[in-house]
Amino acid sequence: MNWADYKDTQYMVCHAMLLSIQASIDLATNMAVIKTPRRPDTYRETFHVLGKFGIIPKDLAVEMSRLAGFRNILVNEYTALDVKRVFRILKDDVKTLDAFKNLVKKFVNEAVA
For the chain, give every domain's residue range. 3-112
How many angstroms separate the CA atoms of 59 and 57, rounded? 6
Q: Calculate what percentage of the chain has a pLDDT beyond 90.
A: 58
For residue range 62-97, list pLDDT tens digits in order.
999 999 999 988 888 766 778 788 888 888 888 999
Q: Rounded to an integer, what distance in angstroms lies between the CA atom of residue 26 and that of residue 24?
A: 5
Helix axes 58-76, 43-52, angle to 10 degrees: 180
CATH number for 3-112 (one of 1.20.1250.20, 3.40.50.300, 1.20.120.580, 3.40.50.1010): it is: 1.20.120.580
pTM (two decimals): 0.87
